[in-house]
Amino acid sequence: MRVRVRLFARLRDLAGAGELVRDLPEQATVQTVWNALTTEMPSLREYERTMSVAVNAEYSRMAAAVHDGDEVAFLPPVSGG
């Protein structure tokens, strides 16, 4: 299956792109997506303990299942206001 990955702020800068497409095995979770990304780009790992994740623009968890066509986002600590 294929998912769209969104990265924001410094995570986007580290990856050099805000939007990526990745092919994953069936039964994948948000964690699977993150593992694929950090294998390619180890520098992203610094956010593992501080980031939030979202699936289809709803806050989610690393253990959540992802499905074909989903949008999975990784969000550094926020600084709005």
Partner 1 sequence: MALVAVTADRLDLEALTAELVANAAGDGAVATFTGLVRDRNQGRTVRFLEYEAYEPLAVRALRRIVDEAGATWPDLRLGLHHRIGRLEIGEASIVIAAVSPHRADAFAACRYAIERVKQIVPIWKREHFEGGEVWLEGATADPDDEMARRAAQRVACA
User: What are the residues binding partner 1 (CB under 8 A)?
Assistant: 6, 8-10, 13, 50-52, 54, 57-59, 73, 75-81
Min dist CB 78 to partner 1, Å, is 5
Cα–chain-centroid distance for residue 29?
10
Q: Which residues contact 37 (CB under 8 A, 6 or more apart)?
A: 5, 15, 20, 22, 44, 74
Q: Which residues contact 69 (CB under 8 A, 6 or more apart)?
A: 1, 2, 3, 4
Measured from the CB atom, the residue of 27 and 73 that comes closer to partner 1 is: 73
Min dist CB 6 to partner 1, Å, is 7
Min dist CB 57 to partner 1, Å, is 4
